[in-house]
Amino acid sequence: MGVTERVWSALTAMIKLEDKVTRQADALKTQQVKIEDLTARVIRLETQLELLTGTAMIRKLKGN
């Protein structure tokens, strides 16, 4: 009975570990999507900043 219990315990532990790995993989996918979304937002903000900075410099040059 001792060997059977150890085998059953090992199988149970392996199944639990597989479940944890699966949940972590899903969480990682979700985080990756969020990171990609934030990266796209930062790119848009950088573009707007560059355009506004360029416009301000042109206006300043025209004003002088």
Which position has the higher pLDDT, 64 or 7? Answer: 7
pLDDT exceeds cutoff 80 at 1: no
Q: Specify the pTM.
A: 0.66
User: What is residue 37's DSSP assignment?
Assistant: H
Q: What's the distance, CA 4 to chain centroid? A: 43
Predicted confidence at residue 5, as pLDDT, reads 94
pLDDT digits (tens, 9 = 90+) for 13-60: 999 999 999 999 999 999 999 999 999 999 999 999 999 999 999 988
Kindly give the residue spans of alpha helices, DSSP state H, lying in the chain. 2-63
pLDDT exceeds cutoff 80 at 4: yes
CA distance 3 to 42: 58
Q: Is 24 in a helix, a strand, or coil?
A: helix
